[in-house]
A and B are shown apart, each in its own frame.
Chain A
Amino acid sequence: MLIVNGPVEDAEHEEFGHPERPDRLIAALAGISDLDLGDDLTVLTPYAATRAELARVHQGAYLDELGAYCYAGGGNIDADTYATYDSWSIARYAAGAGIAVIDELRRVGTGVGFIAARPPGHHALADRAMGFCLLNNIAVAAASLTALGERVLIVDWDVHHGNGTQSIFWNDPNVLYVSAHQWPLFPGSGGSREIGGFDALGGIVNIPVPAGTTGDVMLRALDDVVAPAVAQFSPTWVLVSAGFDAHRGDPLADLALTSGDFAMMANRVAQFAPGPGRLALFLEGGYDLAALRASVAGTLGALLDCDYAPEEASSGGPGQEQVLRAANERLIAIHMAEDSRPEED
């Protein structure tokens, strides 16, 4: 069963010529349609996150200013990020979609959640919009779970490092944030030595990979670097920042993944979930519409065991060496941080 939330009609978050555009959501939903799920598809009523839910991860002053800015007509927040009159409302629905999906997953105890919402969220910081993102959708959802005492694994396979999510959970021992991303690339963070604060050392796992990286390298990263960290962390929920801009057809980056790679990665990540109904994927990037559609279908088709044939998986690209190096550098950084940990009073 697939539980979906996110799309909001009769509101606009769009800027002419901008790659983060409404057609992306149409493409993602078309990918779901391609699976012919029938009664196995549940689309929830849109839910807008409350201020209290947003304030778990965002500063109140930022929320006030973002809302006021949108209601004043919006505009460019920075060179990458825009807002419109409707953006505050749309962003709140995008941030609330994950909460609604998780509530439903908890109620039914089975299935996979997919948050088909925009704008994306993983670059949004506690006090700042950036990188097309206004509110950090996956962070809001993860914080709703940690508030219930859950331990949340966030796997971020968007081609860009999720600096906002990392920053928000930097020192939170109840969240393990894992990102495999192209480097160097925007936002310039996500080095393997970034491992979390003293209250959560090792709670950040960054695997920067070079341009041209193929699916076999990403799977190795999941198996050799991520899986041991996940086993140690023992999550009760798994959330995925499912950007699809690592696809070889995407115009914003240079990785070489296919929809078949996303399908295989999804199956690996699903194994990290402790049981059924504990996995939800959040749409992040992905700017080539055909690639986005195929990748959404490939990913969800694999998770739901659908009769859907994605593109062939890719292999033979660079990155194996960088994955090994990232694993070693991370371990060294953790040991060094442990040695320098301030003594408690």
Chain B
Amino acid sequence: MTSPQTIAVGYDGSPASQAALLWTFQLAGSTGAKVVVVHAVGLMARFSGQGASLDLEQSVGQLAEDVDFDMTHLRWYLSDGDACSVMLRAVEDPVNADLLVVGSRGQGAHAGLLLGSTSLQLAERSSVPLVIVPMERHFDGH
């Protein structure tokens, strides 16, 4: 099995997605993989305003700085849709991810078994390996 070349990590600013991003930074830091931060632009994005994407950008930058991740290895992929569909699109051109990473619970999702769970929906549908990072995991930044 080869190391992933391009890791797509779902990010919506939620604590779960922050955990996923930190885990991805650690993996990419040790393997040299490219990181593509994937953000689904939903119907409500218009109501959130332009400031929302700026907030996301700043929080990703802060997390990268916290773990000394080289931002030149990071790209963004913003696409219209629900989180599951957009993550699945990241497997295709132009992202071509060979590993997907998501948090166990995204923004607005409830704690039920399947309803609204991007991670479980992806587990059913993804054609590439998927990592689901539990929110409780602690990181030492190395």
Q: Which of A18, A69, A80, A160 contacts B110 (CB 8 A)?
A: A69
In the bound complex, do residue A184 and residue B112 qualify as a contact, i.e. CB atoms below 8 Å apart? no
Residues of A contacting B12 with CB < 8 Å?
79
Q: What CA separation (Å) do A79 and B84 show in the bound complex?
A: 12
Q: How far is the CB of B131 from chain A (nearest CB, A)?
A: 21
Residues of B contacting A62 with CB < 8 Å?
114-115
Q: What CA separation (Å) do A131 and B40 show in the bound complex?
A: 12
Chain B residues engaging chain A, CB cutoff 8 angstroms = 12, 40-47, 79-86, 89, 106-110, 112-116, 118, 121
Q: Does A65 contact B (CB under 8 A)?
A: yes
Q: Does A274 contact B (CB under 8 A)?
A: no
Q: What CA separation (Å) do A116 and B64 show in the bound complex?
A: 49
- A42-80 near B? 1/0 per residue, CB < 8 Å: 000000000000000000011001101100000111111
Interface residues of A, dominant DSSP: loop
Number of A-B pairs, beta carbon distance below 8 Å: 83
Residue of B nearest to A185 (CB): B80
Interface residues of A in 74-95 (CB under 8 A from B): 75-81
Q: Which of B82, B108, B110, B115 contacts A187 (CB 8 A)?
A: B82
What are 17 A-B contacts with C-beta separation under 8 Å?
A18-B44, A61-B114, A65-B114, A65-B115, A69-B115, A76-B108, A76-B116, A77-B116, A78-B106, A78-B116, A129-B115, A130-B82, A163-B85, A184-B80, A186-B41, A186-B42, A188-B85
Q: How far is the CB of A121 from chain B (nearest CB, A)?
A: 14
In the bound complex, do residue A128 and residue B83 qualify as a contact, i.e. CB atoms below 8 Å apart? no
Q: Which of B43, B110, B113, B114 contacts A76 (CB 8 A)?
A: B110
Q: How far is the CB of B14 from chain A (nearest CB, A)?
A: 9
A19-B47, A186-B41 known; A78+B121 contact, CB < 8 A: no
